[in-house]
């Protein structure tokens, strides 16, 4: 998470209520979504309601330990409120993906 915090000005962590107490203390706000059984799409839709005032949002999954801060920064610097940024490594697309506000539903 620290690599993300180095690249962007605001971070929001969304997690399951049942694991909230097991997370280490963070400076970033943490919200819980109690309908995770509805899937990742529902979780992302909930998260977007929490950040509707942002110009863009980068979706960073918790299990991507090898993404470096320069990669996060490059994606954050590239996305605008009118674009979607999808990183590539060779011919493979990957994560994290950034969505401009125009794509918040």
Domains of the chain: 2-103 (3.90.550.10)
Q: How confident is the model at residue 6 (pLDDT cuts 50, 70, 90)?
A: confident
Q: Strand pairing partners for 57?
A: 99
Considering 2-6, 10-14, 81-85, 89-93, the range whose residues carry the highest mean pLDDT is 81-85
Question: Which of 48, 40, 31 shows the shortest CA–CA distance to 104?
Answer: 48
Name the residue with tokens 């000005």.
Answer: 9
* pTM of the complete model: 0.85
Residue 50 backbone dihedrals phi, psi, to 5 degrees: -80, -20
pLDDT tens for residues 31-49?
Answer: 999 999 999 999 999 999 9
- The residues, any chain, with a CB within 8 Å of residue 97's CB and separated by 6 or more, are 58, 59, 84, 85, 86, 87
């Amino acid at each position: 998470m620290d690599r993300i915090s180095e690249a962007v000005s605001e971070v929001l962590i969304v997690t399951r209520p049942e694991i909230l107490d097991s997370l280490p203390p963070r400076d970033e706000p943490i919200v819980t979504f109690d309908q995770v059984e509805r899937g990742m799409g529902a979780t992302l839709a909930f998260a977007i309601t929490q950040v509707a005032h942002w110009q863009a949002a980068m979706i960073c999954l918790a299990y991507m330990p090898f993404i470096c801060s320069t990669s996060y920064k490059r994606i954050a610097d590239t996305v605008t409120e009118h674009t979607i940024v999808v990183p590539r490594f060779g011919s493979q697309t990957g994560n994290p993906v950034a969505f401009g506000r125009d794509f918040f539903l």
